[in-house]
Structure 1
Amino acid sequence: MDWRGRRRSSNIEDRRGDNIASAGAGGALLLRFIPMLLGTRTGRWILGIGVLVVLGGKMLGIDLLPLLLGGGQTVSQQSQRPLSPAEQELSEFVSVVLADTETTWHQIFQSIGRQYQEPTLVLFSNRVQSACGTASSAVGPFYCPGDQQVYLDLSFFNDMKQQLGAPGDFAQAYVVAHEVGHHVQTLLGISQKVRQAGAGRSQAEVNALSVRQELQADCFAGLWGHAANTQRQMLDPDDLDEALTAASAIGDDRLQRRAGQDVVPDSFTHGTSAQRVKWFKRGFDSGDITACDTFAGPL
């Protein structure tokens, strides 16, 4: 990506120098019960589902953040540490990507007679407090509609490269653009409609709605990629392949196999690898927000 020297967003809040020393009462209680859970078949099944949930969370976040290791009072101890040159460069990169999503979504909202409200992106390390609760970096990048902020531990980019085989700066930009896509859904009232539609439904039906919402965020990320490529010539020849590789790596089917689980479509919350690739590419190829209606017709 050709990102250096471009405008940076002013909507970055850097909390990486703030370290939280303890995991809180909820996390401590969970750790005490792990040996007990491992001793029973049911307990091992619960832990297996928990691992799958964490992996799914790491692979591009969720719209509503569950409390991870949660509930109890967290003892916070803040200490400032110097940031490495690599960390500084990553923060500059994320700031440029965020700024470019702002440009794109201001244009799209203006075209539909709306006014875009820019989100804040919070950089953190290890754990963070949001309006949706306290979260570990194990959750991965996420968007909190309660405070309309995106949360990102930049170590997730290393996980993408080393664990998922999805390296590259455009793959990283896709992560940011996907979470911004959830912000767009909040502004347009889509997220609220999804929550209302899921009320009183079975878990499988709620999961199916989540899949459609996540795939739309992928399509919205593709809209940004289209604008960055055609209007500002930011992309290199291999960048699209990087994003498609990342989208494929984080499909629910692939994640379940990586976790040693059977593939259970009713448990999907983000979509298959093929679906994620399809909807990102639809947004990227069309540049048209009306092409991103994942709630109508087959996926």
Structure 2
Amino acid sequence: MEHPQPASMRDVAQAAGVSAQTVSRVANGSTAVRPQTRQRVEAAMSKLGYRPNYAARALKHGRFKNVGVLLYNMTSYGNARILNGIVTAAAESGYAVTVHTISRRGNQSLGSAIRHLQQLPVDGAVALLERQVPDFNEFRPGKDMPVVLVSEDPANHCPTIDADQYGCSIAVVDYLLSRGHRTVYHVAGPPTSRAAESRAQGWQDALWQFGIPLPKTYVGDWEADSGYQAGLALSHEDECTAIYAANDQMAYGVVQGLAAGGKRVPQDVSVIGVDDSLLGVVPRLGLTTMRMKFNEIGREAFSMVRRQCEGEQVPVGVKTVIPAELIERVSVRDIND
């Protein structure tokens, strides 16, 4: 049985009544095409089942206009929002995105993950390193494969960007102490997370700066149930008037655990979280939080890798830090009043 030949650029041009050059411009995302003409060409592409030849495009332009994204999972709020920022910015620039997950088994190296991407039609890569990789300090990107790291640890070999995890915690402690609380308890994220580690370090350093002894730390797993258990335990701590949870899911669980232990928020205990991930999910959301600008991080990370793919120089050895934003709601009480 013979298979029909795929539609060519010439076939699309004939069907749309335009030149092959115009079809090429539309396929490459050029803005030098009138909207009405673009619609006619795209309709012809759809009708004929035309698919651009990306290999030919790469030979002509030296690029696939496709960026790879490496990450451990797509389900966490931060990763999902960063990925959304990358995909949105890529689409605006006429780029596609290829996503590849880094294996958690065997502690896969960054180098091996990048080598896998190099077998695919991508021009560069953004790696979301929420965990430490064994070859972080030794890894060097190839000249033909620019790499941008979204990483808590600054790299001297790749452009690096991330949220200000440490500074976020400093701001939280300052905020709560300025409202009369004598100390701040912390519900930390899992020890495998570099973000959780930096948030916990910022909390510790902020309390030490004020000469305040560290209260007991409760370690969760980013999920609400672990926050609930911490909140229930802290409801029996008479000295506890303020709790800083390392993300909003755990903070919400803390509020529920405190309630189960007979404590009210914020009348008895103030609670603050991080990320603002519950907005639009929990009705009548009253949780004060530090909003992480994950979407902005994704957009900027894509910009960094795109500029390198197009021949620009992007500084290495300098980490771009995106600060968090305090979102005040009703879960923190000023006990000075």
- Which TM bucket (shorter chain)? under 0.3
**Structure number with higher strand proportion:** 2
**Structure number with higher helix proportion:** 1
Q: TM-score, normalised by structure 2?
A: 0.24
Of structures 1 and 2, the one with the larger relative CO (CA 8 A, separation 6+) is 1
Q: TM-score, normalised by structure 1?
A: 0.26
